[in-house]
Amino acid sequence: MTNEPPLKGRIALVAGATRGAGRGIAVQLGAAGATVYCTGRTTRAQRSQLNRAETIEETAELVTAAGGEGIAVAVDHMVPSQVAALAERIGADHAGRLDILVNDIWGGEKLIVFDEPFWRQSLSGGLQMFRNAIETHLITSWHVAPLLIASGRGLVFEVTDGQDAGYRGSFYYDLAKATVIRLALGQAEDLRPHGGTAVSITPGFLRSEEMLDHFGVTEATWRDAAAQDPHFLLAESPAYVGRAVAALAADPDVVRWSGQALSSWQMMHVYGFADVDGSRPDWGRYYAEVAAGRKPDAAAFR
């Protein structure tokens, strides 16, 4: 007798599924059997301001190929009316319920400034980053909360960078990503009486499409980027954080994590999954060694 995939019958929305962690999470939820609504601004007919080639249709096709059902819906999560229409569609399609929300909307890559104090950075750029990273998440959660409550076990993932242990090196970026962690904490408190759970989740050094392009490498040659940044030898694919999310979503006792700031490497130790190459990168342990002034062998942390 064949076991059913652990998330078969579960309905998920990955807001910001076009590329990177969002795409990796959507595909791994699909691999676990879920129906996944994949939203974003870049479609085959139109690109967002980031002007990248990845599309939500591609992500939805990858979800379906992995074993789930991928549904691409073009949504600008900064526009409440578009998110309201999305929530209405999901509710109509699935008897008014949504089981999993992944808030991965970002789009602030070109706004990050390092090595400059906040008063020398663009205030409008900093505020735009905050709107991209926070306002979009709030709009999305507000509109789909009734669907999560109707599920009776609604689960929210707020995708961020770091577990809030230290400064991220850029004022507005740090403020945005730290606030995402607080978004998870607050949602956890308000969802708890309704059987819901919310957590934040961070990848380590993410081997996203944009990061590969930044180093001039491909997924097949990514290790060559170590010549430019030796820490990239600890890079993890987007599937790694995706497997963390899928494992948490399949955990019948996921509520024990509610309100916490989690990481891909931490969940790897709990659930035992591996990255696409079979390794288990532990970015947190590696980074602690680097921060302490040591020069660890990256291979020992995979």
In the predicted model, what is the mean pLDDT of residues 49-75?
Answer: 95
Q: Count CB neighbours of 1 within 10 A.
A: 3
In the predicted model, what is the mean pLDDT of residues 229-258?
Answer: 97
Q: What is the pLDDT of residue 140?
A: 98
Sequence length of the chain is 302
Sheet holding 35-40, edge to edge: 69-74, 35-40, 11-15, 100-103, 155-159, 197-202, 261-263
C-alpha distances in Å from residue 100, one per residue of 20, 50, 68, 161, 192: 19, 27, 14, 20, 15
C-alpha distances in Å from residue 83, one per residue of 152, 196, 275, 284: 22, 21, 33, 35
| Tokens of residue 101, six digits | 């929300």
Catalytic residue among 173, 240, 286, 287: 173
Q: CA 55 to CA 47: how far, in whole Å?
A: 8
Question: What integer best gives the mean pLDDT of the chain?
Answer: 95
pLDDT grade for 218, boundaries at 50, 70 and 90? very high
In the predicted model, what is the mean pLDDT of residues 212-220?
Answer: 96
Q: CA 268 to CA 282: how far, in whole Å?
A: 8
pTM greater than the 0.85 cutoff = yes
Q: Which top CATH class is 11-222+238-278? A: alpha beta
Q: What is the pLDDT of residue 251?
A: 98
The residue ranges of DSSP E strands in 24-151, in sequence order, are 35-40, 69-74, 100-103
Give which of 128, 134, 150, 251 is closest to 194, Cα–Cα: 150
Contact residues for 76 (Cβ-Cβ < 8 A; gap 6+): 41, 82
In the predicted model, what is the mean pLDDT of residues 111-126?
Answer: 95
Q: CA 199 to CA 155: how far, in whole Å?
A: 8
Is 173 catalytic? The answer is yes
Q: Evaluate if residue 263 carries a pLDDT over 70.
A: yes
In the predicted model, what is the mean pLDDT of residues 267-296?
Answer: 95
Q: What is the pLDDT of residue 49?
A: 79
Q: What is the pLDDT of residue 130?
A: 92
Find the angle CA(86)-CA(92)-CA(93) to the nearest 5 degrees.
90
Q: What is the pLDDT of residue 165?
A: 74
* Percent of the chain at pLDDT exceeding 70: 99
Find the angle CA(18)-CA(23)-CA(25) to the nearest 5 degrees.
145
pLDDT grade for 2, boundaries at 50, 70 and 90? low
Q: What is the pLDDT of residue 124?
A: 96
| Tokens of residue 52, six digits | 């990248």
Q: Evaluate if residue 1 carries a pLDDT over 60.
A: no
Q: Evaluate if residue 183 carries a pLDDT over 70.
A: yes
Task: Give the type of residue at 245.
Answer: V
Q: What are the pLDDT digits (tens) for 223-242?
A: 999 999 999 999 999 999 99
State phi, psi for 27 to the nearest 5 degrees. Answer: -65, -40
Q: What is the pLDDT of residue 265?
A: 98
Judged on CB neighbours under 10 Å (0-12, 13-18, 19+), 197 is buried
Task: Give the type of residue at 134.
Answer: I
Q: What are the pLDDT digits (tens) for 86-115?
A: 999 999 999 999 999 999 999 888 899 999
Query: Domain coordinates of the chain in residue numbers?
Result: 11-222+238-278
